[in-house]
Structure 1
Amino acid sequence: MPEQAGHDVVRCLDEVAAREGADRLVVLVDGRSGTGKTTLGNAVADRLGAQLVHLDDLYPGWDGLRAAAEAVVTDVLGGPSGYRRWDWTTSAPTDWVPLDPDAPIVIEGCGALSRASAALASLRVWLEADDDTRWQRAIGRDGEVFAREWERWAAQEAAFIAAEHPAGLADLVLRT
């Protein structure tokens, strides 16, 4: 993550925290695979002392982007706040992970920022990177398994972006 991007997010967080007062701070970090969502999400959650939700834990398999986006609204930010974890090894849902509905929360992953979730967020961030960079990062991180599923996942990302226009919903668009 470039240093300037980090400064932009910190500045926005400070502004949001000042205007939010006692309300729950909700930060959504979205973008296509390999844009740096997890890196930024981790950094923001550490800075805020916030709960962190990785949508990789919610996607119900390789075709589950839309389902996870809906779960952000109904489960993670709904009541009771939490989510059903997905076991990628067994391809089945596992335990319910409860979240504190009053504590600050950072949600990162493709599908975090939708029209429905945008209204529930304090800060909405969209990340962008060129395709070669995204490929190198994603495959370097997840290896051959993701390489086999890249096109399948990219088609879901494209459909989600076309339907929800998350970059247009964002308070901050960063190129990583």
Structure 2
Amino acid sequence: MWDQITEPADPGHVETVVELALDVRPRCGDTTVVAIDGRSGAGKTTLALGVAADLRSYGTMAIVHMDHLYPGWDGLAESSDLLATRILEPISRASTAAYARWDWKAGGWDGTTALEPTDFLVIDGSGSSVGPARPYTAVGVFVDADPMLRMSRGLARDGDTYRPHWQRWAAQEDTVFAADETRAHADLVIDTTGRGLRSAGWNQPT
């Protein structure tokens, strides 16, 4: 999970994302939303934490981890709608958002978190730029890596807790990302296999 990340992000990747975030117009009211999307084990949270740390130098900043919004191991498809309706839509109206957090140990919702509008909002996790969340996203990043490398990273991070669910979650990613064409819609694609980066084409409206 996101709170087990200890490795620093690639400084070049962080700089590129931050530069994009500083160069766009917000789509979520006055809040610039940066969605760090992509495949499990690719390095999304590592990048998101680095980007969030740098953006704090430029204004108020908050970060939301999609791990809190997934309603269990089969909840990827549902999470983007929860993100849009419970967080992004209220923020776009300059209202306080309130969202329930999923307790992975208990297997149910546990408590509610309030979120105030900020200058920057980093969303970390698979599905963060998908479907209903995309219209609010100013910068969409898709992070990927070699499948075997991603799996080894994921299992090293989460251990036996994640092992029975790896393929189950990967199949959901296959389905959601293919139907949504998430990678093609991204403003930036980062492949962390060899720490490579390529532009995916800028689609910020004029």
| TM-score using structure 2 length | 0.79
Match of 1:131 among 147, 155, 172: 147
Q: Which runs of 5+ in 2 are unaligned?
A: 1-8, 91-95, 193-206
After superposition, give the CA deviation of every residue in 1:11-64 in whole Å (9 maximum; x if it has no partner).
212322xx44x8211110100100111011111111112211111111111001
| AA at the equivalent of 1:13 | A
Q: Are the aligned partners of 2:34 and 2:138 in contact in 1 as well (CA < 8 Å)?
A: yes
* Corresponding residue to 1:43 among 30, 43, 50: 50
State how 1:46-57 maps to structure 2 within 5 Å: 46-49=53-56, 50-57=61-68
Distance 1:47 1:100 in 2: 20
Given the alignment of the two structures, is residue 25 of structure 1 paired with residue 36 of structure 2, yes or no? no
Contact 2:30–2:119, Cα closer than 8 Å, also in 1: no
Evaluate the alpha carbon distance shift between residue 48 and residue 32 of structure 1 in structure 2; reply closer, same or farther with a 3 A threshold: same
* CA deviation profile, 1:66-119 (whole Å, cap 9, x unmatched): 121111111121225232100111111011111113442110101111132121
Shift of residue 9, structure 1, vs aligned partner: 1.5
The CA distance in 1 between the partners of 2:155 and 2:117, in whole Å, is 34
Match for 2:70: what amino acid?
A: Y
* CA distance in 2 between partners of 1:66 and 1:41 (Å): 21
Is the aligned partner of 1:34 residue 2:41?
A: yes
Task: Provide the aligned length of Structure 1 versus Structure 2.
Answer: 174
Q: Deviations over 1:102-145 (max 9, x none)?
A: 44211010111113212111111111100111011111110111
CA distance in 1, matches of 2:32, 2:19: 15
Q: Any residues of structure 2 matched to 1:1-176 within 5 Å, and which? A: 1-16=9-24, 19-20=25-26, 23-49=30-56, 50-79=61-90, 80-176=96-192
SS class of match (2:126): coil
Contact 1:66–1:160, Cα closer than 8 Å, also in 2: yes
What do you get for the CA RMSD once the two structures are aligned? Answer: 1.8
Which consecutive segments of 4 or more residues in structure 1 shift more than 4 A?
none
Separation in 2, partners of 1:58, 1:64: 8
1 or 2 for the larger relative contact order (CA 8 Å, sep ≥6)?
A: 1
Q: Offset at 1:160?
A: 0.6
Equivalents in 1 of 2:45, 2:16: separation in Å? 17
Identity of aligned residues (%): 38
Give TM-score scaled by structure 1 length.
Answer: 0.91
Larger helix fraction of residues: 1
Amino acid of the residue matched to residue 137 of structure 1?
R
CA contact (8 A) 2:70 2:78 kept: yes
